[in-house]
Amino acid sequence: MRLMLADAQIDIPDPPCRVPLPSRLDTASLAWASVVAAGTAAHSAHCPVAIPDPARIAMAYRSDRFFRLDGKTQSAWSPYSRFWRTSDGWIRSHGNYPHHARAFREALDLGKSASPEHIEAIIASMTGREAVARVAHAGGLAVLVNPEDRKTDAALRTTALIDINKISTDSRPQGGAQAEAMSPLRGIRVLDLTRVIAGPVCTRTLALLGADVLRIDPPDLPEIGWQHLDTGHGKRSALLDARDPQMESLLQQADVVILGYRAATMERLGLSPAALARRHPGLVIAQLTAWGTEYPNRVGFDSLVQAESGIAMIESVDGKTPGVLPAQALDHSAGYLLAAGICAVLARRRVEGGTWQVSTSLRRIAAELLGMPRRVAPEAEVAIDPSDHLEDFAVQEHTVTTVRSALPGFSFAAPHLWASDAPRW
């Protein structure tokens, strides 16, 4: 497999064995290529790239299954995040966040104690389009479970997997000495305006490589605490309203800003790539969306993109009931690939200067996966001894257990509790 990053071709070597992520689609190769791309981009001009451990990659992509908080597992899914049969097919809903769960209940006139059987009966009486429209009208999230659209996927694959553009030449070359091999991003400040999985995986990777990463969240939008700890290694976490003048100060001192919210929201707050480029020449602006910037008002998650893009039906066990990939592979791959693109652009900025934009979407990653070779049936599940791949961290009064870094030679620093830091560099 070959990837193009900032006009540079990355040849992805074959793994020593397949990444144990069994599925009909080639999730294993996508995961391998994504992690190798991040490692290669980070190591450019520093030292040879070490070969990752396929088992470690599989565990990293399934990190939510291995996460422990004080020895206890955590539930990744809400009862409102699942497939539902309708009168003419299936839909997939997402309600992990309280505000999305509340909207889902309101859309269907449900109480908090409504049983799954009661919800199933209500949705089964509707067409898929009716159910999706009702949930969307209430501010919730649901999509139709569709067959794959080969024409749309082929068109998406004509676009860059990681789109890299030099917005302007207003900034001079950065110059400066190269950082050491085991901390290639030392001295780089990254402002992290992302949440959930894909964006945090990207910024966790940048922190792993030595960047100073500060995650900022809105004060009125709580995060799932344990989920943040699973992807928060080496980062500080603070709350700040985007309209606070302090945000502009943080941007002024940043090298990279990563946007993970709806494009329309960023535009409204004056944080669109175009607006940031005008105010802060020399900034590297990374943008991650679920569906692509051509859908600026649309919210999405990995599970919803799997359902609407056709992946869920391809992964069906019986050809009738939707299935899933063995991990939230669109999220994780987007995170590693976006980190690779950022590393490549930082190397070019050092020589050329300029203001840069790096972007991708979960839907674009899905199109890539759908264009790769597939199997009639998934391989058998491979048992992995997790003991060699887990690490404990002391986080204030808690013990946090997470999967070790998938990039060989690099070790995670402990995560911070969500919103436990001040909003300053």
| Cα 210 → chain centroid | 20
Give the length of the chain.
425
Q: Are 58 and 384 in contact (CB under 8 A)?
A: yes
pLDDT on residue 333: 98
pLDDT on residue 10: 75
34-68: pLDDT as tens digits: 999 999 988 764 555 689 999 999 999 999 999 99
186-225: pLDDT as tens digits: 999 999 999 999 999 999 999 999 999 999 999 999 999 9
**Contacts by 381-389, CB closer than 8 A, 24 or more apart:** 381/20, 381/22, 382/20, 382/22, 382/55, 382/58, 384/20, 384/55, 384/58, 384/59, 386/59, 386/66, 389/53, 389/55, 389/56, 389/59, 389/66
Query: What is the three-class DSSP state of 319?
Result: coil
Who's near 368: CB < 8 A, 6+ residues apart? Answer: 30, 157, 161
Who's near 419: CB < 8 A, 6+ residues apart? Answer: 217, 223, 237, 238, 239
Who's near 177: CB < 8 A, 6+ residues apart? Answer: none
| Cα 408 → chain centroid | 20
One DSSP character per residue, 188-204 reads -EEEEE--TTHHHHHHH
Q: Are strands 355-361 and 284-289 parallel, antiparallel or unpaired?
A: parallel
pLDDT on residue 9: 72
Span 70-87, average pLDDT:
95
- For residue 373, pLDDT over 70 is answered with yes
Q: Which of 226, 220, 225, 216 is nearest to 246 (CA)?
A: 216
What's the CATH number for 2-73+150-297+324-403?
A: 3.40.50.10540
Span 16-23, average pLDDT:
96
123-143: pLDDT as tens digits: 999 999 999 999 999 999 999
pLDDT on residue 48: 58
pTM above 0.75, yes or no: yes
- For residue 181, pLDDT over 70 is answered with no
- For residue 1, pLDDT over 90 is answered with no
125 phi and psi, to 5 degrees?
A: -85, -5
Q: Are 227 and 424 in contact (CB under 8 A)?
A: no
97-119: pLDDT as tens digits: 999 999 999 999 998 889 999 99
- For residue 2, pLDDT over 70 is answered with no
Tokens 């995040």 found at: 81
The first and second tokens of residue 20, run together, are 């144990």
Q: Give residue limits of the domains in the chain.
A: 2-73+150-297+324-403
Tokens 């941007």 found at: 251
Q: Are 6 and 44 in contact (CB under 8 A)?
A: no
Alpha carbon distance 226, 102 (integer Å): 21
| Cα 293 → chain centroid | 15
- For residue 335, pLDDT over 90 is answered with yes
Side-chain-side CA neighbours of residue 254 (13 Å): 28
244-294: pLDDT as tens digits: 999 999 999 999 999 999 999 999 999 999 999 999 999 999 999 999 999
pLDDT on residue 177: 47
Question: Mean pLDDT over all residues of the chain?
Answer: 94
246 phi and psi, to 5 degrees?
A: -65, -25
pLDDT on residue 45: 47
